[in-house]
Amino acid sequence: MDRPAWLLLIISGLFAVSTAMSNTFVNVYLWKLKQDFAVIGRFNLANYLAMAVTFVLAGRLSKQVDRVIAIRIGVALQALFYLAVLLLGPRSVDLVFLLGMFLGVGAGFFWLSYNVLYFEITERYNRDIYNGINGLLTSGAGILAPVISGWIITRVDHFTGYRIIFAFSLAVFMAAVVVSFLLKRRNARGEYRLREILRLALQRGNHWYWVNLAMVAQGAREGLFAFLVSLLIFVSTGNELALGGYLTAASIVALISYFVVGRCMRLSWRDESILLGASMLGIVVVPLIWDINTWTLVVLGVGAALFYPVYMVPLTSAVFDVIGENQDTARLRVEYVVARELALNVGRVLSVVVFLWWIRLIPDLIQLRWLLMPVGFVQLFAWLAIRRVPLLEQE
């Protein structure tokens, strides 16, 4: 891979360090301020809604101005989010919806521009390699950062500890902004044709229809599991260090899994790999039928860390291969990436809305297992959709 690819991996790695250090603990911090699942749900719902709207705006900026400027804006806004949490302190719980929107706007700018740059910098022959290395960096960041955060919070006065790790995340995001200036500007020209691509998502006779269905299914799992499993482990243990230890263990497992997948993945294995990973991601949820406790949650989290790369690496590569299917689709890469992210956030929003409805109807923690079970298997629909794309196994 060339220099721009490695710079993008460094930015992604710094982003991963900061989020591993603080993102999970933001939800725990809000929970400690007010022990209400609805507060956490509203925070994440606002995050996903703002992210979806931002993708549309960031797409226009990336298409008609510069992708690199968009990624700088995204990283800078993530830094400002942690600055806002630091300044607000305990008052943050009263402004969860606004804070969630702030975080979502930053994430929207970052991920839209990151994914466009990822498509432009990589080629079909090295995408699996890039995804494997990126997974290694992300998992590596997750090995030390969470347990260090948990240790700081438990050793120092709790809320002072939270302020320390949020300040560290602020500093890391600022470092990512500096690295982004090493990327050469990528000016873009042309009409922003998002509506045209969104209409394709409703036409069954093309590849993009199936890609969007797969992304909605993937987002439905991500939207709920991204914040709920870690929060439930904290509720079960009542200890940030235990939560940090769990996140570290899951990251070690994911690191090994990404390494193996990155080294061994072949184009002709993608279909079987996605099916295996999707099936196992559902099976690891099954122990929750008996009880929601620390051990069943650890089985879920560590099992998901093991099989998520088996599912995610070939799925991501297949989706971007569709975007690069020919010169016409490649010219509209920004619009395709925006449409992909919108589909993901449709799934995320749907799952969080169902979660908020569920806890209002059945506030019992144990009964959450009956919600987690179907959501745990929803990614099988992603496999059923993406396997309709002939490019999946095309050498």
Give residue-wise pLDDT tens across range 25-84: 899 999 988 889 999 999 999 999 999 999 888 888 877 777 788 888 888 888 889 889
Please check whether residue 394 lies inside any domain of the structure: no
Please check whether residue 236 lies inside any domain of the structure: yes
pLDDT at position 328: 72
pLDDT at position 185: 67
pLDDT at position 1: 65
Helix (H) or strand (E) segment spanning residue 190: none
pLDDT at position 395: 43
Please check whether residue 393 lies inside any domain of the structure: no
pLDDT at position 391: 55
pLDDT at position 347: 94
Please check whether residue 12 lies inside any domain of the structure: yes
Q: Which CATH number goes with the domain that contains 354?
A: 1.20.1250.20
Query: How many domains, in total, are found in the chain?
Result: 1
Distance CA 179, CA 191 (A): 30
**Phi and psi torsions of 66, nearest 5°:** -165, 130
Please check whether residue 225 lies inside any domain of the structure: yes
Question: How far does Cα 214 stand from its chain's mean position?
Answer: 15
Distance CA 227, CA 324 (A): 32
The number of beta carbons lying within 10 Å of the beta carbon of residue 53 is 15
Please check whether residue 156 lies inside any domain of the structure: yes
Residue 114 domain boundaries:
3-183+191-387
Below-70 pLDDT ranges, the chain: 1, 124-127, 158, 185-190, 265, 267, 326, 390-395
For 145-159, letters b (16+ CB in 10 Å) and e give: bbbbbbebbeeeeee
pLDDT at position 71: 84
**pTM score > 0.85 for this model?**
yes
pLDDT at position 188: 61
Please check whether residue 375 lies inside any domain of the structure: yes
Please check whether residue 392 lies inside any domain of the structure: no
